[in-house]
Structure 1
Amino acid sequence: MSLEEKFPAYGGRGPGDLRLGISLAIIATVFMAMRVYVRLFMNKFGTTALMWSLAAWLLTAITQVFGILSVLHGLGNHITLIIKVGELHNFLLFTWVTVFFFNLAIPTGKVAVAAFLIEMNGQSNPKIRKSLIAVAVLNIVLNIPQVLMVWFQCTPVTALWDPLQQDKCDHRKSVYYTYFVGAIAALSDIYLAIVPIHMLLPLKIDRKLKWGLSFLMGCGVFAGVAAILRTWAAKFILSEDSSYGVGILFCWGEVEEWLVLITMSIPPVWPLFRPFTNRFIKSTITGSKRKSYMYNYKAPYSTTAVGDQSPGFPPPMSPGFPPPMVTTTISISSAKDGATTIVPSETGSRLSDERIPHSILHDKSSSTTWVELSPVKDPRRSP
């Protein structure tokens, strides 16, 4: 028996929304499973962010389940058909429960992203840290009225899903407030996508690697676009054919929810993909444009004339010969307090002109390293 035969109100935009939501849910769930695996067996970084992410995933999964029930009972189909087959009660009930959990999942996902970026930033940039905390708090505070409004649109509350008491409901305040909160959500997604790019730009790594990581960590901007479209679609709640119009809102809502989870999981699961990308993602710390140097080594306090050589010192280096390079491997590591620090991995330095590639997201032998970079020129030498 097909779904159309078992659920007569199923149809319209509903099937497309259902397939899209389930596909994104599977991808996000796979990423979350990989993230848990990395945290348990490969990298101890990002525990707080992972807990928030799991909470966001759970609320989003619950939202998706009730969304599927709503679709099966008419969400995305025309209201006249839903009334004809007698599914209006179930449609209203499951749809408003979906909206309730959606309003819980959206701010939780944004807090999860902010928590990861806070742990990644550590104490290195107090302004960014404060702004991320502000974004997290703002989304939680502004969504509290949004969550409560779901249950106070009708008097009594049971009229919300009672087809015979719909005249006792006023959805206008909730829709107007959705415009405001949706705008804040969209701006938050865009900001949370830009911040990691701002963190990566100062790093002296290969340009292709830098822009590749910036793109991956900035994909949250697509969630911001989905938030804008979802906010625009909120107007369909007040339309005559609300069940069909709300299908558009539900579609962009689930895209926003799952994209937030997917994009926030890309950086933490990088250790699993690093072995397959080593041949493509390799870079070295480079200084400014190379110049030719002339070195004239003389003994300190020597009175020897220019051009004479002091005993025990090498002759001047010929033009075009690059100066010796101090090769020092450094690691950007997460400290116990969540700070991201740069720690030299060698107490001494050695003179070498070889260039050792660095790897992103260190292997499981180091539980705290996030990024390893090498080599670095001796800072005591002028560029």
Structure 2
Amino acid sequence: MSLEEKFPAYGGRGPADFRLGIALGLVATTFMILRVYVRLRVNKFGTTALLLSLLAWLFTMLTQVFGFLSVLHGLGNHITVIMKVGELHNFLLFTWITVFFFNLAIPTGKVAVAAFLIEMNGQGNPKIRRSLVAIAVLNIVLNIPQLLLVWFQCSPVDALWDPARQAQCDHRKSVYYTYFVGAIAAISDFYLAIVPIHMLLPLRIDPKLKWGLSFLMGCGVFAGVAAIVRTWAASYILSEDSSYGVGTLFLWGEVEEWLVLITMSIPPVWPLFRPFTSKFIRSHATRSQQRYNYNYGYNSKQPYSTTAVGDQSPGFPPPNYPPPLITTTISISSAKDAETIAASEAESRLSDERMPRNIIHDKNAQPWVEMKEMKDGRSP
């Protein structure tokens, strides 16, 4: 028996919303498992952020479960269909439970991102640290009224899911407050996506690796876009065909929830992908060196020319060919202040540029990411 036959209110936008939520949920859950593995087996960094992320994952999963129950009972379908098959009570009950857990998941996810960035930043930039604390506190404080408004839209409370007493409910205050909180959530997402890029740019690492990580960590801007759309879609709660319109709200809400969890998990699981990136960089560097030798007509396997000793022919080899590539280990840890960073950078400038060195190092903390730098310069 199909779901349409077993649940006659199932249909409309609901099935597509649920399939997208399952796909994003599987990706986010995989990342969360990898984060736990990294924390237990690789390093000790980011414990607080991991616990907050697991809590956000739990709230998001509960949102998805009750959202699926809502879809089975009519979420995303037209209100006339729901009333015809007698599922209006179940639709209202599961939908408002979904909204409640959604209002828990959204701020918790943003607090988890802020906590990770605070640990990542350490004491390196006090302004960034204070701004991240402000983002976390703001999202918590502003969402407390949002949680309460869900249950105080009707008098008495159980009229919220009673089809016969919907006239006793006033959803306008909740919807208007959602506009305000949604705007703050979108701004928070954009800021939390830009901050890690700002942290990565000063690092002396391979440019392609730097921009690749910046792009992946900056994907949080898509969560901000989703926050804007779902805030706009909250107006459907006041429409006549609210069940069909709320399908759009649910769709963009789950996109925002899962994207926050996915993008925040990229830096912590990076140690697992670092070996593959190192191989790619070494392979790319080898191909670049081969192309250089080809362009100058130089081949290490080719025998020497019979030219006289004093001959300065530029082809074998050219006078200013580059020295071997230099590798530099970059370690970013959680306990770092500005003086240590400055001292480490000064030491790195005075050290032999042909020897591997740690630019940022902490004896008491494990790095969240280690990356190889490849420089192409001339001999001193």
Normalising by structure 2, report the TM-score.
0.81
Give me the whole-angstrom Cα distance separating, in 1, the residues matched to 2:25 and 2:171. Answer: 29
Cα 1:329/1:357, change in 2 over 3 Å: closer
Give me the whole-angstrom Cα distance separating, in 2, the residues matched to 1:108 and 1:272. Answer: 26
Partner of 1:334: 334
Coordinate RMSD, CA, aligned: 3.5
Deviation at 1:43, TM superposition (A): 1.4
Give me the whole-angstrom Cα distance separating, in 2, the residues matched to 1:26 and 1:100. Answer: 22
> What amino acid is the match of 1:14?
G
Deviation at 1:277, TM superposition (A): 2.0
Partner of 1:29: 29
Partner of 1:198: 198
- Asked whether the 8 Å contact 2:217–2:267 carries over to 1, the reply is yes
Deviation at 1:355, TM superposition (A): 6.8
> What amino acid is the match of 2:41?
F
Deviation at 1:206, TM superposition (A): 2.2
Deviation at 1:109, TM superposition (A): 0.2
Cα 1:278/1:193, change in 2 over 3 Å: same
Give me the whole-angstrom Cα distance separating, in 2, the residues matched to 1:65 and 1:326. Answer: 52
> What amino acid is the match of 1:276?
F
Partner of 1:291: none
Give me the whole-angstrom Cα distance separating, in 2, the residues matched to 1:127 and 1:350. Answer: 30
Partner of 2:277: 277
Give me the whole-angstrom Cα distance separating, in 2, the residues matched to 1:361 and 1:274. Answer: 18
Deviation at 1:333, TM superposition (A): 2.9
Give me the whole-angstrom Cα distance separating, in 1, the residues matched to 2:351 and 2:122. Answer: 33
Give me the whole-angstrom Cα distance separating, in 2, the residues matched to 1:194 and 1:77. Answer: 37
> What amino acid is the match of 2:242?
S
Give me the whole-angstrom Cα distance separating, in 1, the residues matched to 2:195 and 2:122. Answer: 13
Deviation at 1:321, TM superposition (A): 9.8
- Asked whether the 8 Å contact 2:32–2:265 carries over to 1, the reply is yes
> What amino acid is the match of 1:66?
F
Question: Secondary structure of the residue that 2:170 maps to in structure 1?
Answer: coil
1:75-224 equivalences under 5 Å are: 75-224=75-224
Deviation at 1:202, TM superposition (A): 1.3
Give me the whole-angstrom Cα distance separating, in 2, the residues matched to 1:87 and 1:338. Answer: 59
Deviation at 1:371, TM superposition (A): 4.1
Give me the whole-angstrom Cα distance separating, in 2, the residues matched to 1:182 and 1:349. Answer: 47
1:215-254 equivalences under 5 Å are: 215-254=215-254
Cα 1:87/1:124, change in 2 over 3 Å: same
Give me the whole-angstrom Cα distance separating, in 2, the residues matched to 1:259 and 1:46. Answer: 19
Deviation at 1:76, TM superposition (A): 0.2
- Asked whether the 8 Å contact 2:124–2:337 carries over to 1, the reply is no
1:82-113 superposed Cα distances (whole Å, 9 cap, x missing partner): 00000000000000000000000000000000
Deviation at 1:265, TM superposition (A): 0.4
Cα 1:64/1:344, change in 2 over 3 Å: same
- Asked whether the 8 Å contact 2:205–2:372 carries over to 1, the reply is no
Partner of 1:368: 366
Give me the whole-angstrom Cα distance separating, in 1, the residues matched to 2:196 and 2:82. Answer: 46
Give me the whole-angstrom Cα distance separating, in 1, the residues matched to 2:187 and 2:369. Answer: 29
Give me the whole-angstrom Cα distance separating, in 2, the residues matched to 1:130 and 1:35. Answer: 26
Question: Secondary structure of the residue that 2:154 maps to in structure 1?
Answer: coil
Question: Secondary structure of the residue that 1:195 maps to in structure 2?
Answer: helix
Normalising by structure 1, report the TM-score.
0.80
Partner of 2:289: none
1:349-368 equivalences under 5 Å are: 354=354, 368=366
Partner of 2:266: 266
Unaligned runs of 5+ in 1: 285-318, 378-382
Q: Provide the identity percentage.
A: 76
Cα 1:229/1:116, change in 2 over 3 Å: same
Give me the whole-angstrom Cα distance separating, in 1, the residues matched to 2:65 and 2:348. Answer: 58
- Asked whether the 8 Å contact 1:327–1:351 carries over to 2, the reply is no
Cα 1:359/1:223, change in 2 over 3 Å: farther
> What amino acid is the match of 1:57?
W
Give me the whole-angstrom Cα distance separating, in 2, the residues matched to 1:10 and 1:376. Answer: 56
Give me the whole-angstrom Cα distance separating, in 2, the residues matched to 1:258 and 1:123. Answer: 29
Question: Secondary structure of the residue that 2:333 maps to in structure 1?
Answer: strand
> What amino acid is the match of 1:78?
H
> What amino acid is the match of 1:91?
F
**53-62 vs 196-205, which moves further:** 196-205
Unaligned runs of 5+ in 2: 286-318
Give me the whole-angstrom Cα distance separating, in 2, the residues matched to 1:349 and 1:173. Answer: 60
Deviation at 1:275, TM superposition (A): 2.0
Deviation at 1:153, TM superposition (A): 0.3
- Asked whether the 8 Å contact 1:327–1:350 carries over to 2, the reply is no
Deviation at 1:210, TM superposition (A): 1.4
> What amino acid is the match of 2:52?
W
Question: Secondary structure of the residue that 1:334 maps to in structure 2?
Answer: coil
Cα 1:375/1:10, change in 2 over 3 Å: closer
Partner of 2:255: 255
Give me the whole-angstrom Cα distance separating, in 1, the residues matched to 2:339 and 2:223. Answer: 27
Give me the whole-angstrom Cα distance separating, in 1, the residues matched to 2:78 and 2:17. Answer: 14
Give me the whole-angstrom Cα distance separating, in 2, the residues matched to 1:351 and 1:27. Answer: 43
